[in-house]
Amino acid sequence: GQNIDQPTEMTATEGAIVQINCTYQTSGFNGLFWYQQHAGEAPTFLSYNVLDGLEEKGRFSSFLSRSKGYSYLLLKELQMKDSASYLCAVKNQGGKLIFGQGTELSVKP
Amino acid sequence: DTAVSQTPKYLVTQMGNDKSIKCEQNLGHDTMYWYKQDSKKFLKIMFSYNNKELIINETVPNRFSPKSPDKAHLNLHINSLELGDSAVYFCASSQGGTKGYEDFGPGTRLTVT
């Protein structure tokens, strides 16, 4: 089967660092994506990993370990506007993007 | 603005009705998609078209029929609407292939009463 797991909810403090984990089991692997979705809005692309290692983009970084079926999204210097749902998704062998249920992140002052 | 757009943004209708949602992208992408996001916020692919050709067709009731008149447009027609069809429907597009990421439209919130 195809399965993507991530925590349902997380809470963090403004200015802090938070790590959102994602584990996956899919039929084939063609890359792992992270999306951000604010309430009532469309998902927006954050990052893409296809090789093992860390990809850094400003305050956001994403890590991938293909052998462990594991990724994380790291958010630094948290701001209130980072409160959103973070979706982990894997593109499988057939080119389909399979999404996890999303992690609802609340940033508190 | 270069983007994926879809209309309407909100759609409230009664069971048994037929409705359509329209989608257009001006990003020059080859591949377009329809996704459904249910009340638990699970985002699931329904269909994918590449250059007007259907390439992904998930296990979706045949009351749902996508139509792509050209590679910039992908519409979704739903017949005999049911309560369980209530969800947010997102159109998306990508450059295609296995590495392109999806750009999502603003979503259509469908409520069936």
Residue of A85, A91, A95 with shortest CB distance to B41? A85
Residue B97 has a pLDDT of 63
Residues of chain B in contact with residue A33, where contact means CB-CB under 8 angstroms, are 101
Residues of chain A in contact with residue B87, where contact means CB-CB under 8 angstroms, are none
Task: Report which of A59, A81, A42, A52 is spatially closest to residue B92, judged by C-alpha positions.
Answer: A42
The answer to whether the CB atoms of A42 and B56 lie below 8 A apart is no
For A60-84, what is the mean pLDDT?
A: 97
Share of chain A above pLDDT 70, in %: 99
Name A4's bridge partners.
A24
pLDDT band with cut points at 50, 70 and 90 for residue A62: very high
At residue B84, φ and ψ (nearest 5 deg) are -70, -10
B105: contact with A, CB 8 A cutoff = yes
Name residue, tokens 């890359």: A31
A26: contact with B, CB 8 A cutoff = no
Q: Is the pLDDT of residue A103 over 70?
A: yes
Q: Is the pLDDT of residue A67 over 90?
A: yes
Residue of A nearest to B46 (CA): A96
Whether the CB-CB separation of A34 and A73 falls below 8 Å is answered with yes
Question: DSSP character for B101?
Answer: P
Cα gap A75→A25, rounded to integer Å: 24
Which of B43, B58, B108 to mutate: most A Cβ within 10 Å? B43
B61 Cβ contact partners less than 8 Å away, ≥ 6 residues apart: none
Cα gap A76→A54, rounded to integer Å: 14
Residue A39 has a pLDDT of 94
Name B34's bridge partners.
B47, B91
Cα gap A4→A2, rounded to integer Å: 7
Residue of A33, A42, A85 with shortest CB distance to B90? A42
Residue of B nearest to A31 (CA): B99
Residue B60 has a pLDDT of 86
Cα gap B112→B94, rounded to integer Å: 30
For A58-63, what is the mean pLDDT?
A: 97
Cα gap A93→A78, rounded to integer Å: 35
Residue of B nearest to A41 (CA): B106
The answer to whether the CB atoms of B90 and A96 lie below 8 A apart is no
Residue B40 has a pLDDT of 81
Whether the CB-CB separation of A44 and B104 falls below 8 Å is answered with yes
Whether the CB-CB separation of A94 and A30 falls below 8 Å is answered with no
Q: What is the mean pLDDT of each run of 10 residues along chain B (113 residues)?
A: 91 97 95 92 92 86 93 96 97 80 95 97
